[in-house]
Structure 1
Amino acid sequence: MQISFLQILMLLGAFQGFIFSGFAFFSNKFKSRSNLFLGLLILTFSYNILQNFLIISGILNQFNYFETFHIPLSSVFLVLFYLYVLYFLHPNLKNRKSHFLLFVPFLIALLESILEKIGFATKLFDQRDIIYFNYFRIGFEIFNVIFSLILILASFRLIQNYERNRIVKSNKHPKMVVRWLKTISFILLVLCLYWPIPLYFEINHDLETSELYFYPLWLGLAVTIYTLGHIGLYQYGVVQEQKSIRNYSNNQTIAIHVEVENSKNENVEAFENYIKIEKNYQNPDLSLELVADELGINKSYLSRIINNEIGKSFTDYVNEMRVEEAKIYLANPDFKNYTLLAIGLEAGFNSKSVFNAAFKKFTGMTPSEYRNSIK
C-alpha cells in the first residue's frame, strides 16, 4: 500500500477539522447556534474526508468500507451550511421544526446504510448484492447535487434579503458585513456545478477517472469549508465586539463635534438632526439618495445645500462624523483589545479599508497609529 502526497493532505485536513470543530463546540467565547452548525459542518466534512482516505488509500476495500465504516454524509453538508447562514444572520430567530425536515434525505440514506450493514453482518446479503446498493447510492448522489444547489441558492437569498433589509432597520443593532459569506456561497455554488463531472464517470463505472476528477472537488471543498470555519469564528467575534460597542453607544451621550458653517436653512437643520442627533451616520448603507428620501427632499437640491450651507460634501460630512466617533472608541480602554474592523463598522464604515482611508484623511494617522498615540 502506497500513500500519495494528496492522500496525506486529506488525512491531515481531516484531523485539523476534528480539532477545529472541537474548538467551535467547547469554547465559551464562540458559543452560539450558528457556530454549533459551523462546528457540525466541519466535523461531518472531516469525517467524510477520512472515509474517502480509507478507501482511496486501499486501507479498506469497497466492500469492507460500505459494510463497516461508511456514513452517508454528502446530503448533510449544505443543510448545515444553510442553517449556519440562517442563524448567523438572524441569531434571535426561533428554532423551527420545518428546518429539521432538511435532514430527511440524510436520515433516509443513513437508514439504507444501517440496513446494508446489518444485512452483510447477518449474511443476509453477500458481495453480489452490493451492486443494488450502488445503484441506490448513485441515484442518491444525483439527488444530492440538485438538493445542494437548491440549498446554496436559498443561502444566497438569505444573504440578499439581509443586505436589503438592513438598510431600513434601526441603528440600535449592529449591521454585519456579509460580503465574505456571499463569496463563500458563490465558491460552493461553483463546486456543486462541478460535482456532476466526477459523478458522470462514477455512473459509467470508470472509477479511476472518477477518482481523478473527485480530487479537485474534495480539495476545493476542504479549502472552502476550513476557510469558512476560520473566517466564521473571526466574524462572530467581530459581531460580539460590535454589540458591546453599540450598547455603550446607545447608553451614552457621545458628543460628536464637526465644524460647519452657520446656517438657518430648515432643510439643513433637518439633515443635521437626521445624521447627527439620530446617529444615522452609523448606518454603513447611508447614502445621499436614502437621506433625501427620508427627509422628502430632492436629491440634487439636498446635495447643493449641503455643499453651500455646511461647506462640505455629503460624504466628507458623514465620514468626518464617523471618524470622530471612532476616535472615542479607540480612546476607550474598555475597547483597547477590540479589532479595528469592529470599531470601524460601529462608527458607520462598511469596510476596514474605507475606515483606514477616511481616518487618515481627517487625522493624518491610521486608526492603529492613533490608538498607539494615546496609550
Structure 2
Amino acid sequence: MQLLNFLVSITCFFLLLFSVHLLFAKKGNKRQNLLLASIFFARFGQIFTSLVIKSGSEHALSLIFQLFSPLYFAAPACFYLYITGFIHNRHRLTKLELLHFLPALLAIIHVIPWPGSKILNWTLITAQLRDSGYLFLTAENGLFPAYFQSAGRPLLTVIYLILCWHAILKFKMKDDQVNHDDHGRSWIIFLLKVATFFQLAGLIPIVLKFLNIPLHHSFFIISNCIMLLVILMYALHRPHIFYGYLLVAIDWDTKEPPAEMPVSSQEKVTEPLLLMAIERPKVKTHRQKKLNLSPAQTANYALLIKEVMESEQMYLQPGLQIIDLATRVNIPVHHCSHVINNYIGKNFRDWINGYRVEYFLRQYPLQSDKITIEAIAHESGFKSQATFYNAFKKEKGVMPTVYFSQGTTGGAV
C-alpha cells in the first residue's frame, strides 16, 4: 500500500506539474500547449480517481469521478487535435475543430444532477469501479445509460487513436523518415507511441475478463505509474523533448544558449568581464537534412522573409521566435529555418540579432544623451544586457565602447 501511494503521488505530481506549466506557458504555441495540458490533466485525473476508488470513499468519488468525466471524453479529441495541429503548424482552434468536443459536452450534461433525476447509488458505483473498473460499470452514473461511460470512453479512445495514426501516415511521418536532426518529428512519433501503448494497455481488462482471469486493480495502477515514470526518465535524457515540448523553455530552431545571464540595469558590470561570463564553448551541430526546395523557391522564400522582417521590424520583438516569422509569411517552420541557415547563411538568432545591432547603431546617436546604452539595446529588441553585448561583439568584432571610440559607423545586415 505504501508503494502504491508513493508511486501515485510522484506520478500525479509530475503530471500536474506539466499540466500547470503548459497551461500558463508564455512561450511556444498556445493552442498546442493548452491541448497537451488537457491531456496530462486527464491522465492525472484518471490516476487520482483510481486512488480514490481504491480508498473506497464514496463521497470523494462522487465528486472526483463526476468532475473528471467530461475531461476523459475530451482527452482523445485533444490528442488528435494536438497531432494534427503539430503537423499543420496551427495556432488556434477552428470552429469545425470545436465539434470534436461534442462528446465532452454530452459528458457534462451526463454528470449534472438535473432536478428530478434519479439519485445515484454511489455505494454500488464505488464497488463496481473498485472490482472491475469503468469498462464494466453497469450501475447508473448519470443522466444517460451506464454504457455511456463503459462503452463511450474506450470507443472514443480507439477511434481517435486510429485517426492519429492515419494523420501521421498520410503526411509521411513514419519511423523510417524520422532523423535525429528533425526533433519535431521525433517528438510527435514518440508521443504517439507512448499514447498508443497506454491506451491499448487500458483495454487489457476486457481481454482478462474474456479469459476469466481475475483483475487486480492495484497492479494496473502501479504498472501505469511505473511506465509513466520510466518514460519521464527517458524524456529527461532527451532535452529537445523535455525542454522543447514538455516545459516549453527553448526555441530549438535557434542556436542561442537556453538561459541568459540576468543583469540588473543598476549594476555596473565591465564589458570584458560580462563577455567572459556569457561566452560558452562551441558545440558541433549536425548538418540539416536537405529539403526538396528548388533554387528559385528558396530565393523567393528568402526575399519574402527579409521583406517582412525589415518592413515590419519584427526583430524589435524581444520574444520573437522562428515560428512567429514562419507563421507571418505562411511557410512551414522547417522551410523557414532551412532558408535562413543555408541561403542567408546565419542561424535564426544571429540573423535577427544582426538587425537589432544595426537598429541600435541607428538609434544610439539620436538617444545616447537621453538614455543609457542598455535602454537603447532593450528598445532594439534585446532581452538582456548580456545578450546585447554578446551579439554586438559577434557582429562588429569589438565591444560597443571600443566601437564608438574608434568612430566606426554601422553597416548593413
Superposed displacement of residue 202, structure 1: 7.0
Aligned to 1:252: none
Superposed displacement of residue 241, structure 1: 4.0
Superposed displacement of residue 99, structure 1: 2.3
Picking from 141, 147, 162, the partner of 1:153 is: 162
Q: Judge conservation of contact 1:201–1:207 (CA < 8 Å) in 2.
A: yes
Question: How many residue pairs align between the two structures?
Answer: 254
Aligned to 1:21: 19
- The letter of the residue matching 1:68 is L
CA distance 1:215–1:324, shift in 2 (3 Å): same
Q: Which stretch shifts more, 233-242 or 72-81?
A: 233-242
Distance in 2, matches of 1:331 and 1:87, equals 25
Aligned to 1:265: none
Aligned to 1:37: 35
Q: Deviations over 1:18-47 (max 9, x none)?
A: 232222222322352111111222223223
Aligned to 1:187: 194
Aligned to 1:67: 62
Aligned to 1:368: none
Q: Deviations over 1:312-362 (max 9, x none)?
A: xxxxxxxxx9997697439938579xxxxxxxxxxxxxxxxxxxxxxxxxx
Superposed displacement of residue 91, structure 1: 3.4
Distance in 2, matches of 1:99 and 1:18, equals 26
Q: Deviations over 1:136-193 (max 9, x none)?
A: 55663343223212212222233334447xxxxxxxxxx9741321232123223322
Q: Judge conservation of contact 1:37–1:83 (CA < 8 Å) in 2.
A: yes
Structure 1 unmatched ranges of 5 or more: 165-174, 243-272, 283-320, 337-370
Indicate whether 1:197 and 2:197 are aligned.
no
Aligned to 2:107: 109
Picking from 350, 363, 366, the partner of 1:332 is: 350
Aligned to 1:305: none
Q: Judge conservation of contact 1:201–1:210 (CA < 8 Å) in 2.
A: no
% identity of equivalent residues:
15
Q: Deviations over 1:45-75 (max 9, x none)?
A: 223322222332x2x43x3343232122433
CA distance 1:323–1:108, shift in 2 (3 Å): closer
- The letter of the residue matching 2:169 is Q
Alignment of 1:198-213 (within 5 A): 198-200=205-207, 209-213=216-220
Distance in 2, matches of 1:77 and 1:224, equals 19
- Cα RMSD for the two superposed structures: 4.7
User: Does the residue aligned with 2:77 lie in a helix, a strand or coil?
Assistant: helix
Q: Judge conservation of contact 1:195–1:217 (CA < 8 Å) in 2.
A: no
Alignment of 1:208-357 (within 5 A): 209-217=216-224, 219-220=226-227, 227=235, 231-233=244-246, 237-238=250-251, 241=254, 274-275=294-295, 278=298, 328-329=346-347, 332=350
Distance in 2, matches of 1:190 and 1:323, equals 37
User: Does the residue aligned with 2:89 lie in a helix, a strand or coil?
Assistant: coil
Aligned to 2:406: none
Superposed displacement of residue 94, structure 1: 5.8
Q: Deviations over 1:77-98 (max 9, x none)?
A: 2221111122223234663333
Aligned to 2:320: none
Aligned to 1:141: 150
Distance in 1, matches of 2:347 and 2:160, equals 39
CA distance 1:225–1:216, shift in 2 (3 Å): same
User: Does the residue aligned with 1:25 lie in a helix, a strand or coil?
Assistant: helix
User: Does the residue aligned with 1:115 lie in a helix, a strand or coil?
Assistant: coil
Q: Judge conservation of contact 1:198–1:213 (CA < 8 Å) in 2.
A: no
CA distance 1:223–1:50, shift in 2 (3 Å): farther
Aligned to 1:47: 45
Structure 2 unmatched ranges of 5 or more: 127-137, 174-181, 236-240, 256-292, 303-338, 355-393, 399-413
Alignment of 1:82-93 (within 5 A): 82-92=80-90
Distance in 1, matches of 2:48 and 2:294, equals 57
Which protein is richer in helix relative to its size? Answer: 1
Distance in 1, matches of 2:2 and 2:191, equals 29
- The letter of the residue matching 1:18 is L
Superposed displacement of residue 15, structure 1: 2.4
Distance in 1, matches of 2:353 and 2:172, equals 27
CA distance 1:142–1:212, shift in 2 (3 Å): farther
- The letter of the residue matching 1:19 is L
Aligned to 1:5: 3
CA distance 1:84–1:206, shift in 2 (3 Å): same
Q: Judge conservation of contact 1:87–1:93 (CA < 8 Å) in 2.
A: yes
User: Does the residue aligned with 2:190 lie in a helix, a strand or coil?
Assistant: helix
CA distance 1:199–1:40, shift in 2 (3 Å): same
Q: Judge conservation of contact 1:198–1:214 (CA < 8 Å) in 2.
A: no
CA distance 1:239–1:117, shift in 2 (3 Å): farther
- The letter of the residue matching 1:153 is I
Q: Judge conservation of contact 2:16–2:41 (CA < 8 Å) in 1.
A: yes
Distance in 1, matches of 2:194 and 2:121, equals 41
- The letter of the residue matching 1:100 is L
